[in-house]
Chain A
Amino acid sequence: MSLLEARNLSKRFGGLAAVSSLSLSVETCEIVGLIGPNGAGKTTCFNLLSGFLSPTSGSVVFAGEDITGRRPHEIVARGLVRTFQHTTLFQELSVLENVLLGLHLRSRTGLRQLLFSRRVFPSEEIALSREVLEFTGLAADADQLARNLPHGHQRVLSIAMALAARPRLLLLDEPVTGMNLEESARVMSLVKTIRDRGTTILLVEHNMKAVMGTCERIIVLNFGQKLAEGPPAAVSTNAEVIRAYLGEGVEHA
C-alpha cells in the first residue's frame, strides 16, 4: 500500500482548473519530485495534500486513511508535514523558538505547568530542538533571530521546523530556491539523509540539477494535469516534457 495516494484530485478556482483529475502515489521511503512549468499547479497540489485547500473533487489517502477535507493541523498530527515556498519562518522569533514551535504536537504542557513552572520550556523539549538543529547544521545559530539568518540557512531552518514535527511524509516546496550550487548540494544531501532516517519525501523544485540528482521518481505537471512520470533519466528525455518547458520550437523559430 502506498503511503500517500491522491485519487482524481481536482481543484477549480472559478473557471480555472488549477489541478484536474490528478492521481499520484508516493511509496514509503521514496524521494519523489514534482516538477512543471510555472503555474502548472504544483503548489495547489501541495495545498490540497496538506489540507490548506479542500479539493473540488477527488480524495487524498494517507497511510490508509482518507484525509480529504481534514483541517491542516489534523493532517500534521497524522505525520504529513509540509513547508512553504514563501512564508517559511517566524521572522521575529529566535531559531530555537522556531524549532520549539515545530515540537507543538509533541509538547504536553498542561495548564499547571503554564502557570506554576519556573521554566518556560521543559528541558527535554529544548534538548530535542537542539538535536534537530544539530542534525540540520544550524546549532550555532540557535539564539539568532530567524530574520537575521542568511537566506540558505533560513530555508534549512524551515526544514528543521518541519522535522521537529516528526513527519512520516515531508512535502518540501522549493527547498533550494535562490541557493548557490554548493548550498543546494548541501540541502539535497540533507534531504537524502532525512529519507535514510525513514521519512518519505515529496518535493517541488525548479532547480533541475537538484531534482535530477536527488529524486528517484519524478512526476511532471502541466496545466494541472500529469504530463509524465518516471525515473529522472526517462523524464528528462521525454519529448512532451521538453515541449512543455521549452515551447514548440518550430512555431517560435
Chain B
Amino acid sequence: MRRNIVIPLGLGVGVLLVVFLPLIGGDYYVYLFALVFTNIILASSLRPSLMCGQLNIGHSGFMSIGAYTSALLAKNLGMPFEISLLCGALLAAVVGLAIGYPALRLRGVYFAMVTVAFVEVIRLIAQIWVPLTHGMSGLSGIPKPNLLGMTLVTKTSQYYLVLFLMLVILTVLWKLESSRLGLIWKSIGMADNLAQSLGVDIAKHKLLAFALGCFFAGMAGAFYAHFIRFLFPPEFGFLMATNILVYNFVGGRGHFVGPIVGAIFLSLLSEPFRGSPYETIFFSIAMLSTILFLPGGLITLPARLGGLRWQRTASAPTSSPVA
C-alpha cells in the first residue's frame, strides 16, 4: 500500500479535471462521463464481495432493481428523488440479503452460477410484469432527478449529482476497505478457513459485503433511471453483469483503484461500440489480454514497465534460510 502514493495523487488531479469538465467539454462529454461515473460506482461496489472471493456475475440485476424501483416510485407516486433513490438501493440490498443468504454457502463457480441465474430472472420479471414495468416496450416518462424540491433540469446539473454520489460512495467504500472490515474481507478471500480459526464469522461477513455491494449497485441504477429516463429490461442482462466484472479484472483486483481505472478505461474505449455486437467482442478481447499479458490488471502496468528495467538485477532468488 505504501508504494501507491502516486495513485491517489493522480486521482486527485483527475477529480479536478472532472469537476471542470462541463466548462471545457460539450454536452456529449457531460453525458458520457455521467455514465462513466455510474460504471465506476457499479465496478467499485462489486469489489467487497470480490475481495471475499465471491465471483458475482449478477450485479446488473441489483442495478436493475434499484433502477425500476426508483423510477416507478417517482413516476407513479411522485416520490422525491432522494427518497426513491434510497428505496431503490434498500430494496436491492434486501434482495441481495435474500439471495445471498442461501447462495453464499456455495463456493467459486457454483456461487457464480446462482448469480447468473439471478440476473436472468430479474430481467425476465422486468420483461413479463408488463402492467408495472411496461415490459419490452420499455419504461419511459421517468421524471428527472430533483434535490430538495428543485428539479435538476440540465444534464450538467445531473452530471454534478452523479459525481457527488460517486465521491460519497467511493469514500465510504474506501473507508470500509482500509478499516478492520477490509482486512477481514481480504483474509476471507485469501484463506477462509484460517479466518474462521481466528473467530471470523465468514458467512456473516460474506453476506454483508455482498449486500453492501447490492445497495450501491441499486443506487447507481436509481441514478441511471432518472438520468436516461428510459428503462429497457435487456439492458440489465448478463452482458452488463460480465462487463462490471471485467472492469474489476482489467483494472486490477489488487487495489481499491483497480475497478475505478478499469471502469474509466473500458467505458471510454468501448464507447464507439456501445450497443453494437462489437461491444461484446471488445470486452472479451480486453479480458483475454488481461489474463494473458497483465494478470494483475492495469494498475500493475506502471510497476511492470518500471520492472522491466530492474529485472536483471532484482531477479536473484531469495535463498531460504536452511541450516
B197 contacts A109, C-beta separation under 8 Å: no
The answer, yes or no, to whether B246 is at the interface (CB within 8 Å) is: no
Besides A121-B180, A180-B323, 8 other A-B contacts (C-beta < 8 A): A81-B198, A92-B190, A100-B180, A101-B187, A101-B200, A109-B180, A114-B176, A162-B197
- Chain B residue at smallest Cβ distance from A121: B180
Classify chain B: how many residues form its interface, as a range. Answer: 20 to 34
The answer, yes or no, to whether A48 is at the interface (CB within 8 Å) is: no
A73 contacts B320, C-beta separation under 8 Å: no
Classify chain A: how many residues form its interface, as a range. Answer: 35 or more
Residues of A participating in the B interface, judged by any CB pair closer than 8 Å: 50, 52, 71-73, 76-77, 81-84, 87-93, 97, 100-102, 104-105, 107, 109, 113-117, 120-121, 148, 150-152, 161-162, 164-165, 180, 182-183
B199 contacts A76, C-beta separation under 8 Å: yes
B172 contacts A84, C-beta separation under 8 Å: no
Contact with A along B145-164 (1 / 0, CB 8 A): 00000000000000000000
Given the known inter-chain contacts A109-B179, A114-B176, A114-B181, please indicate yes or no for A104 contacting B200, CB distance below 8 A: yes
B190 contacts A90, C-beta separation under 8 Å: yes
A101 contacts B198, C-beta separation under 8 Å: yes
- Chain B residue at smallest Cβ distance from A47: B193
Once bound together, how far apart are the Cα atoms of A104 and B183, in whole Å? 10
Residues of B participating in the A interface, judged by any CB pair closer than 8 Å: 172, 175-176, 178-181, 183-184, 186-187, 190-191, 193-203, 318, 320-323
Given the known inter-chain contacts A77-B199, A120-B180, please indicate yes or no for A180 contacting B322, CB distance below 8 A: yes
Once bound together, how far apart are the Cα atoms of A114 and B178, in whole Å? 9
B196 contacts A52, C-beta separation under 8 Å: yes
A73 contacts B200, C-beta separation under 8 Å: yes
Once bound together, how far apart are the Cα atoms of A183 and B323, in whole Å? 10
Q: Can you identify 30 A-B contacts, CB atoms within 8 angstroms?
A: A52-B193, A52-B196, A72-B193, A73-B196, A73-B200, A73-B201, A73-B202, A76-B197, A83-B197, A84-B193, A87-B191, A87-B194, A89-B191, A90-B191, A90-B194, A92-B190, A93-B187, A93-B190, A101-B187, A101-B200, A102-B198, A105-B199, A109-B179, A114-B176, A114-B180, A115-B175, A151-B320, A162-B197, A162-B198, A164-B198
